[in-house]
Chain A
Amino acid sequence: MVGIGYEGFPRETPHYSFKELTFEAALKAYEDAGVDPRKDVDSFVVCEEDYWAGWSISDEGAPDQLGGVLRPLHTVSGDGLNGVANAFMQIKTGYFDVVVVEAHSKASDILTYEGILTFAFDPLFYRLLNAHPHFLAGLEMDAFLEDHENTEEDCAEVVRKNRENARHHEAASFGGQTSVQEVMDSEVLFRPLKAAEISPLADGSIVLVLASAEKARELTDQPIWIRGIGWSSDSPWLETRSLAEARYARWAADQAYRMAGLERPRRRVHVAEVDDRFAYKELQHLEALGLAGGNRAGALLREGFYEMKGDLPANPSGGSLGVGNLLEASGLFRVMEIVRQLRGQAGEHQVEGATLGVAQSWRGIPTATGGVAVLEA
């Protein structure tokens, strides 16, 4: 990992088109990496989804804002962390030295967000229920709290922590001081899920520059290494996937940890950025990643284990609850944040002495797809 750049993350960006948003992020990433996209980049990976763009076959609109016209470019219709996995594999072939990954959110352009999520349900089954798509998050949270040793207060605690952390992130839109009681008192929308536990949407674009080991050493004296990466999908059938456990994340973590030779991750990892699009998801994901000593994420949270000053700070950036839901850029945001931490460039939310970090993605409701990357300084 040799370059990072972002433009964001306000609630809306009425002055920029999504292409311009990406251009601004790309300029920063290329400056950071010291590369010229027209000369030095061998391939581009863009992660986006037509319905978020409101534009069919929208990947055809991707090359120019990245400097990728007349170069190899492919789209991953999925989260940005999957794009990192694709770039990683391209570099491993030996045919590509420098690969760029981009993902963005122009959520403020979407007038019917719920409708798009509803269209992601099976059209012959649950799309017909005429229910708000977040009902599935309510069901998952209920199953998770029943099966695991966590409480509704623990989920509220996640909101308090992440919004507090986001106060120290220079680009977060939703940082602030919130008490557990305020979260518990917020409107119950999909019992047991409450309004304050749902991350609000934000806009932004993120660009990362990856390079082969040899090229990375040439470009920077502070490369961040991808030691392991994995991704997987649980059953698309809501009835046969696990509602209580994030099995997709567990499988992805197993693959990434095996590649990295990482055992006992809870003791060795210094910092984690995990998907918290809904508050219960952070706890569920920490458990699936083996960062919670089994199903004890809530108990560890109560003990201060995941706080900024704790043994394993979780979402020091503020996560999606504090920074905003960045749609397909959510996982790429988490990778970028781990890179900043390991470089010692996370500013006011720097975790002291972090040299080994984990980033994890989830593609959001109603998916059961996620990825995990293990990064080291």
Chain B
Amino acid sequence: MVGEEYRRWEGDMEALYVYTAGVAGDRFFREIRDNERLMGTYCPECDVTYLPPRLYCETCFSELNEWEEIPNKGRVDAITVAYVDDKGERLARPKVLAMVRFLGANGGLIHVVDLPEEDVYRGMEVEVVYLPRGLRKGSFLDILHFKAI
């Protein structure tokens, strides 16, 4: 058997979906598109504001109906630099990604930081940059990146 080619066929499992943003996600993306602002849901029981927002509290399981605006400025909490793309191919320009935490919010956002990797450090202040109004579609990618303040 050794040296023979074993039978194997290439195939795929293509499937298409629509992904429902839900009550909390819908408002979150709408606020980004229309008002360039981050909104979170507030849990009075736990006194925390969730970013990204959700309809229920993961700590006490209350339904959340109160919304709070979250400042557009945050601080870098963790950093990675991807030197390869989504398929593992070397990137011409490395992608700096950071977890950014916002004052008053439980959670944060991960996104690209538009700076050379050596200029990004833990604790640095960054600001959310949105796509220009006419280009925004109410998606996560309406957030273009974080930039230094």
- A-to-B contact residues, CB < 8 Å: 14-15, 51, 54-56, 109, 111, 114-115, 118, 123-126, 128-135, 138-143, 146, 187-193, 235, 237-240, 243
Contact = CB atoms under 8 A, between A and B. Distances in A.
Interface of B: 1, 6, 8, 10-11, 13, 17, 19, 21, 25, 29, 50-52, 54, 58, 77-88, 95, 97-99, 106-112, 117, 122, 139-141
Given A54-B11, A191-B117, A129 B112 contact: yes
B48 to A, nearest CB: 9
B109 A139 contact: no
B79 A114 contact: no
A238 B108 CA distance: 9
B51 A235 contact: no
B33 to A, nearest CB: 13
A178 to B, nearest CB: 21
30 contacts: A14-B6, A15-B1, A15-B6, A109-B8, A114-B87, A115-B87, A124-B21, A124-B139, A128-B141, A130-B86, A132-B82, A132-B84, A132-B86, A132-B88, A135-B80, A135-B82, A135-B97, A139-B80, A143-B78, A143-B99, A146-B78, A187-B83, A188-B81, A188-B83, A189-B83, A190-B82, A235-B58, A237-B54, A237-B107, A239-B109
A172 to B, nearest CB: 22
Contacts of B117: 191
B81 A239 contact: no
Contacts of A114: 86-88
Contacts of A111: 10
B82 A189 contact: yes
Nearest to A142: B78
B83 A190 contact: yes
A193 to B, nearest CB: 7
A114 to B, nearest CB: 6
Contact of B80 (A51, A55, A142, A187): A142
Which 10 A-B residue pairings sit nearest by Cβ, starting from the closest?
A138-B80, A239-B107, A191-B81, A143-B78, A14-B6, A123-B19, A239-B108, A139-B80, A139-B78, A142-B78
Nearest to B20: A124
Contacts of B106: 240
B98 to A, nearest CB: 8
Q: Pick the most buried of B8, B85, B122, B140: most chain A CB atoms within 10 A of its CB.
A: B140
A190 B81 contact: yes
Given A54-B11, A124-B140, A129-B111, A118 B6 contact: no
B37 to A, nearest CB: 17
B89 to A, nearest CB: 9
B50 A240 contact: yes
A239 B87 CA distance: 24
Contacts of A141: 80
Contacts of A133: 86
Given A124-B19, A131-B97, A139-B98, 7 more contacts: A14-B8, A124-B21, A130-B85, A134-B82, A146-B122, A237-B54, A239-B110
